[in-house]
Amino acid sequence: MLCLMSYNKRRYDNMFDNMALGKRMKYYRNKKNLSQKQLANLVDMPQSTISRLERGVIGLFNIKKLSILADALDVTLDDLLYDSIDSLKKQTENISFSHYEMKLKELLLTFNDNQLLFYNHLIENFVTFKELSQKEKKE
């Protein structure tokens, strides 16, 4: 059974875009002129669950419940999941880059000004060296 996982930075960052799902859910709910409470009553869920879904903050949610929500909103699962899956595809294409970019950002936040200056020069020198090496290979 498919489960949509909550935002957990280390483990689930690239699994699913809960925010995109939440935005689409809210869009379709507003389109039907339903309050969160009204939608919650239609699908027999607490209003707090609807709120958490729309904000992208959710613990566990299964596909059956999502299907019930889609029916109540008169949309398909594809309508609800489109942005979430599209976002997942984009994320998985760049997963290794994103991982290292995040690690680098975390590391940079720990540096003082002198360390930042040193590593900035180091990176600039590395880039220059790499460019020169590539030029030599072409010649």
Which residue in 36, 34, 41 sits closest to 52, CA to CA?
A: 36
Close Cβ partners of 43 (under 8 Å, ≥ 6 residues apart):
65, 68, 69, 72
Is 99 among the domain residues?
no
Residue 89: what pLDDT?
A: 56
Q: Based on the structure, what is the number of domains in the chain?
A: 2
Instruction: Verify that 82 and 50 share a domain, yes or no.
Output: yes
How does pLDDT run along the chain (139 residues), one tens digit per residue?
A: 344 433 344 444 445 678 888 888 999 999 999 999 999 999 999 999 999 999 988 745 677 888 899 999 999 888 887 766 655 555 555 556 666 777 777 887 888 888 888 888 888 888 888 888 887 777 7
Which residue in 39, 27, 26, 28 sits closest to 74, CA to CA?
A: 28
Q: Left (φ > 0), alpha (ψ -120 to 50) or beta: where does 76 sit?
A: beta
Is 100 among the domain residues?
no
The pTM of the whole model exceeds 0.75:
no
Instruction: Verify that 27 and 58 share a domain, yes or no.
Output: yes
The Cα 78–Cα 8 span in angstroms is 24
Domain containing residue 81: 3-93
Radius of gyration of the chain (CA): 22
